A = this chain, B = another copy of it.
Amino acid sequence: MYQRSARPTIKEVASAAGVSTQTVSRVINNRPDVSPQTRRHVQEIIERLGYQPSGLARSLILQRSYTLGVVIAGLKYIGPSRTLSGITRAAERLGYSLLLIELPQFDTNNILPIFQSLISRHVDGIIWAVPEVGDNRNWVNRLPLDLDIPIVYLTMRSRENISVVSINNYLGGQMAVTHLLEQGYRHIGHISGPLDWWEARERMAAWKDVLQQANHIVTDEHWVEGNWSSSSGARAIEKLYRQYPDMDAIFVANDQMALSVMQYACRNGIQIPDDLGIVGFDDIPESEFFWPPLTTVHQDQYNFGEVAVEETIKIIEAYRNEREPVRPKSIMLAPSLVVRDSSVRKRRAKGGESGKRK
């Protein structure tokens, strides 16, 4: 069904054009030292034969593949997919191809074969887009491999001597809790993500710090740990209300869990935002259409991916040009707060001024 059409090689083009392969090579690489008529002639032959130079052969001789290895986890979630989307676009824009590998779990231990496969394919750099969970970062360092290509890590805390790009989770948490305080809420609880995640710890630390700096007392009754999933959020909110009945607002570490908090409120006649103010995290596309629409911390995952690629390629180029060695650096991107109805008391709309004066 598929007809095998031997695609032409440079040699065939050369003999068809009656020139040497070097001349063809010069033409396809736009070198200056070819006479205009030879160039035109060769280009015609190339056109006619549908010749396409082999990137493989080129990579081999140039010792440069213009390919990035991307290792990612959690593609079934919207966050990582958006990051990947940003990665693909930036790579395309900058002329790089992408070799994609997805880890079966966030904390996959068996990563040696992954690196080997990437190295064997001569990638020019690696983007490690796996969030920091438990000890998984160190597994990369402990690899019995000495890489001569740069790795850029995504979504982890900064460390010495490696390049990291992250979104500032702590800042996002601060914005969320500060907003709730400004809205006049006084008993602000928290449902955290799984605490072996760096991101979850950052968000929670911000919650605690902001409250304490505002002279609120924070106890272990005021928060519950979830695991990012809506169903864990459902369990968490039930427990949290039991141990913290005075709660009048809640900062939930992601929108999925916030969704089940809202479902719980619906079921139990709790009015949002009057009885309970809610702020989520992530700004998934659905958040705007929850009832009421959810206030949440927006992360630009797409741009995040773009920045990662730009950074990686910057390092590759500098490295190849053998200028002074590249100093690894940490880049922190700022999230933003999207205020919707779930955290803005309707009462305040009328009596807001007096509230402020007080």
Interface residues of A (CB under 8 A from B): 1-7, 50, 52-57, 59-60, 65, 67, 70, 75-78, 80-82, 84-85, 88-89, 92, 97-102, 104, 116-117, 119-122, 144-150, 161, 229-231, 233-234, 256, 259-260, 262-263, 266-267, 284-286, 288-291, 302, 319, 325-328
Contacts and interface: CB of A to CB of B under 8 A. Distances in A.
A4 B321 CA distance: 12
B288 A291 contact: no
Contacts of A266: 291
Work out how many copies of this chain go into the complex.
Answer: 2
A117 B284 CA distance: 33
Given A98-B99, A120-B53, A326 B1 contact: yes
Given A4-B148, A230-B285, A97 B75 contact: no
A60 B56 contact: yes
Given A56-B65, A146-B50, A230-B285, A325 B291 contact: no
A82 B54 CA distance: 32
Considering residues A99, A104, A150, A289, which has the most beta carbons from chain B within 10 angstroms of its beta carbon? A289
Contacts of A259: 286, 289-290
B289 A1 contact: no
B256 A121 contact: no
Contacts of A147: 2, 5
